[in-house]
Amino acid sequence: MAFPHYRRLGKKSALTAVAFAIFTLFVITSLDLWRKGVDSSSKPLIDYDSHLVDLTLVRNATDRGAVCLDGTPPGYHFQKGFGSGLNNWLLHIEGGGWCNSVPSCYARTRSKHGSSNFMEHKDSFYGILSHEQSQNPDFYNWNKVKIRYCDGGSFSGNSKYEDQNETKLFFRGQLIWEVIMDELLSMGLANAGQALLSGCSAGGLATLIHCDDFRALLPKVATVKCLADGALFLDEEDISGRRTMRSVYHDVVNLQGIEKSLQRDCVSHLKPTQCFFPEKIVENINTALFLVNSAYDFWQIQHVLAPDTSDPHNAWLKCKMDIRACSSNQIERLQGFRTSLLKTLSSFQHSKDGGLLITSCYIHCQTWMTSTWHSSNSPRINNKTIAEAFGDWYFNRREVKEIDCPYPCNPTCFNMVFSELHGD
């Protein structure tokens, strides 16, 4: 059995984790295990067991048909705010890829990404969810909610599958979103003075899909904004000339009945698959939005630009595992991928209310680990951590449109390295 091993380059600190698994054209991530960061003396960067937050299963969710892929009720972790943050709310949607076929979705029912039976009963909050002021200076004392992801369709599915072998799958992401919002509104979210909807990866895509919905649920006088992290998945040709990501999204949208959850103006003149791509969603969002992404997002490099299916001879394997091992031609291709990302953001860069932070690190998702969100070793652009830059934008302290210089220019970067470890 082989697992990826991660470490940070250029500094003494390192990360170890169990990585997400890929089954053909879909992904199940285990990014939440990255929080186990350690420094050179092997002491935890954070005492993650100091404040465990209980899992809550949504009341009456099953009665409303708002269930995970296997029919179990969805869940969330809630940490009550305190002090000046008592009336403010931060919601973070968990990531975890998508499933685009019956076998891949059924496989997820045996994991926390498809069934609440496998979700941790307690979880530690970290990064943007941390309750420690030193690690989360602007949002540490807000009411915070981690929304668990168990539908495989970025909280946008609207269908059910059943075959003659009695295999049942529930694609109810849209309903899950609605019942969770109803429950949180009844707990005080309806009276929020300030609120933030955030998410990572597939959870970041869900944030984009539901950003305006979230704004509409809250008082008009409330300050409501959204943050999507690692969610700018591109409709880009891979190294073989195929559009792998478009194929994945096409299958996800059709299997899960996602069209109903997409922006009406978009699906009125474009195919639903196109409207599932972040680029099109961002164009039509009215709520203030902040985007955090890497120009060299390792998930996209590994599965959008150079997926295994387009690289039968593994010419890109070393490069995908360690960006330092990329050849000059591969680096040139990576720079082209960066250019494509920035091109998709050309209009957003001129958005009056929008905020933007694009790093040059080989990483995927940067807001929910303290190591990359806000610590002494965190990546910086213009001497600001991601937490500091985002806080400046959210509280209108300054305009934030930060685009890092091309790799390998930033010495503070947190670059991931993957290597095969073999065991039983």
Q: Which residues are designated catalytic?
A: 201, 297, 364
Crossing angle of helices 202-217/173-186, nearest 10°? 50
Show the CA angle centred on residue 146, arms to residues 141 and 147, nearest 5°.
145
User: Considering Cα of 308, then 368, then 231, then 257, what sign does the dihedral take?
Assistant: positive
HEC sequence for 93-129: ECCCCCCCCHHHHHHHCCCCCCCHHHCCCEEECCHHH
Per DSSP bridges, beta strands 355-359 and 288-294 are parallel
Start-end of H helices in 67-217: 102-108, 173-186, 202-217
Q: Tell me how far CA of residue 20 lies from CA of 76, 327, 339, in angstroms.
A: 21, 26, 27
152: left (phi over 0), alpha (psi -120 to 50) or beta: left
> How many whole angstroms separate alpha carbon 61 and alpha carbon 56?
12
Distance CA 118, CA 111 (A): 6
Give first-to-last CA distance, the chain, whole Å: 6
- In 10 A of CB 122, how many CB atoms? 11
